[in-house]
Amino acid sequence: MMLAQEAKSAAVVINAGARLGSAGPAPAVDMLRSAGLPISAVHEVLSGTELAGTLDRVVAEGHDLVVVGGGDGTVSFAAGRLAGTGIVLGVLPLGTANDLARTLEIPADLPGACAALAGGKVVDIDMGRVNGHPFLNVASVGLSVGVTETLSPRLKRYLGPVAYGVAAVRAYARHQPFRARLEFPDGDHETLELENLLQVAVGNGRHYGGGNAVSPTAGIDDHLLDVYAIPGAPLREHIRIARMLKNGSFVERDGVHHLTCQRVRLVTEPLMPVNLDGEIATATPADFTIERNAVHVVVPQESTSARFDGYAAP
């Protein structure tokens, strides 16, 4: 299937707990059906447990297109379930940040996203895993975890993407520096021992945190992980770095470590939780890997974010 319209059977799964998911699946289903997609199953979920069971069911039912509406955490979890199956993922950005949609150049509004999905093309994208858990955008430790812990559903619902900036200021005030060791099992880099850190992140995609870029060259179809570490520094330096987050050029600042690889192991002192696309799902020590072309996904015809190579990672 190279075009979404070639699907024989499609299922829609909407996370009603997402910021823009409270209207349920009906509006999206109506738009997709009107555009000609063969929607044969519709599911609304409210919890992670419900999502896992529902995805297992739609996979077993044999649909060749599964449309998932929710935030980045919901879509990444779904991608982990669909990876390697050949089932195509459709994305409806109903969360707060919607960074995967931004990376894939999917419109942020529901009508635009539905139209792009119905008329879109199928590409394959890479997927990251950390300790076995999937992520599509970025996995990280340090400040970002504090941001996630500060981001209440109420804050996200009322402030939208601006909530990330508010949460970052609050998290920064409470942040405790940490130590980390980065090991590279493939031998492509020397082990790095780092102290007094603000954040360590491993990116699979391009965007995270409501529109920030992992690096100027990061992409979701480049078969590489982008690793960066930001050290502790005076507040004025962190403000300079913050101004460079949108285009990823902060990785070029003195003191910021940035490299690419396919595997990396992160050991921290103390042990720390890991944020995967806005969800805290595991902890250090953490083993990161990349699965090349693991997920088939629909993007707009004009999107240049990825291409179709015709196979999935083993």
Catalytic positions, written as ranges:
279
The alpha carbon of residue 184 and the mean position of all alpha carbons in its chain are separated, in whole angstroms, by 23
Give the C-alpha separation, 205 to 269, whole Å: 27
Cα radius of gyration (the chain): 19
Taking alpha carbons only, the member of 144, 120, 94, 129 closest to residue 305 is: 120
CB 227 within 8 A of CB 260: yes
CB 37 within 8 A of CB 7: yes
Half-sphere exposure at residue 161, Cβ-oriented, CA atoms within 13 angstroms: 13
Peptide bond into 270 cis (omega under 30): yes
The amino acid at residue 216 is: P
CB 232 within 8 A of CB 177: yes
Taking alpha carbons only, the member of 67, 55, 120, 125 closest to residue 92 is: 67
Question: Tokens representing 211?
Answer: 């529109």
Give the C-alpha separation, 269 to 115, whole Å: 48
Give the C-alpha separation, 144 to 152, whole Å: 14
